[in-house]
Amino acid sequence: MNQQKPNILFIMADQLAAPALPAYGHPVVRAPHITSLAEAGVLFENAYCNSPLCAPSRFSLMTGQLPSRIGAYDNAAHFSAEVPTMAHYLRAAGYQTSLVGKMHFVGPDQLHGFEERLTTDIYPSDYGWTPDWENFAERPSWYHNMLSVVQAGTCETSNQLDFDEEVAFQSVRKIYDLARSEDKRPFFLLASFTHPHDPFAITPEYWHRYSDEEIDLPAVPQIPYDQLDAHSQRLHHVCAMDQYAQTEARIRNARHAYYGAISYIDDKVGQLLHALQVTGLGENTIIVFASDHGEMLGERGLWYKMSFFEWSARIPLIISAPNQFTPRRVRQNVSLVDLLPTLVAIATHDAPQSFAAPLDGHSLLPLLHGEAGQAADTALGELLGEGAIAPLVMIRNGRFKYIYSPPDPEQLYDLVADPHEMKNLASSPSHAQIRADFYVKMQAQWDIKTLHAQVLASQKRRHLVHKALSNGRHTPWDFQPHQDASQKYMRNHLDLNVLERTSRFPSPELPEPDGSKK
């Protein structure tokens, strides 16, 4: 491989809350491989998603731009092929780019800069999951509901497990293929798993890594409905949280399965790290570990995501390259939009970059080196999909978090004094100036009225398009992985000896023939 530029292995989990990891202080969960990555790398203590919803978060991550800038409003928002992604930038910088697993791309372009994609996605690529803010009372069948909690427990396999087993297999094989390849370009491999995303079901092997007695209950128990903030009340409707009682047994079972799923993902991380080690690629590979958003996991009586409380919006972010970055923990607020400029800076040795589109993120390279750099200590978030009825935005700056949506009272939390976000300071006289300063920042960042109109117009267009495309012949956009069987294993147009030697790693030496020479 080309030693002038580092390889990049980006490992993504799905719906993994930072507070649920031992590297972030969780006392129960066991994830030794992720912990070892954190101990050998740079761990960002206050990293946030830019939208607490799968597709918008991933589109934002890939482009370095906030969801509102690229129209990534919800899980059925079209991801335009003309928007440059980190795969485009790295590919232009000489990298071979491969995607394995979930990215929830919506629209005909299912590659977005990747040269190859080795699996299909677990979720649909069409407009069928478009919410309808003008008919909020109607709950579509695809919304989350509480069955994931009520039915939490063990299984031998599941839709999610089938998918992640394929992701792990293809990712490990790809690492071996890279080691055996004659392609000397550095690689960018994104391996994206779907666990520990609900439903909360895991195999007995991982369930029994934890005893029932050690499963902790939420730090903040269920808050009565009439004491919830307005957005949390909407989430109760969106996720039908009143359909089943949240008993202690159900909460413990769901958390038990979630912890088991984290250990499952941790083992998959271990498989990838092992493949890097035995192939010798690990010495020149930067490893990024992150999630798209978190999981409330019963905190406050809430589940899943779609809010800006810490368990939903704060995600793990670890960047490990012991030969480049001294292990440390970074406390500044950062977010997923910062990863594109960071990886481009790493790939180009921090040479000045001319980006083809405006970025909302900043390179974390100075922070990785222990410097202040451009760090603004600020993370921005937007929720423009289900659960909202108008744009819901968040600013985390310093120790404070500010949340705003036109139909709701403002929220302001001091996360140092109040890490569980129990005291809304927005109406506190002693914090009036802080609230006012955040309001000014919010107005400077977003034109909420215009954004609201743009979201409604997009929803209407997509509802019509989806209805039309559902009639007659169905032509799906879902990615179809292609495998050319004529080039796999042994075929008669291939030289058997060459094939066996080049497909074996390490490649054996070619010995001189034995016997007397004539």
Which residues form the catalytic set? 54, 104
3-state secondary structure 37-104: HHHHCEEEEEEECCCCCHHHHHHHHHHCCCHHHHCCCCCCCCCCCCCCCHHHHHHHCCCEEEEEECCC
- Retrieve residue 266's tokens: 């941790």
> DSSP letter string over 452-484?
HHHHHHHHHHHHHHHHHHTSSS-----------
User: Considering Cα of 383, then 388, then 389, then 392, what sign does the dihedral take?
Assistant: negative
Contacts 24+ apart (CB under 8 A), 116-122: 117/479, 117/481, 118/170, 118/171, 118/174, 118/481, 119/163, 119/166, 119/167, 119/170, 119/481, 120/478, 120/479, 120/480, 120/481, 121/478, 121/479, 122/159, 122/160, 122/163, 122/194
How far is it, in rounded angstroms, from Cα 178 to Cα 176? 5
* Amino acid type, 402: Y
The SS3 call for residue 499 is helix
51-52-58 Cα angle (round to 5): 60
How far is it, in rounded angstroms, from Cα 464 to Cα 469? 9
How far is it, in rounded angstroms, from Cα 18 to Cα 1? 34
- Retrieve residue 516's tokens: 């007397």
Task: Give the distance, in angstroms, between the CA of residue 153 and the centroid of all CA atoms in the same chain.
Answer: 24
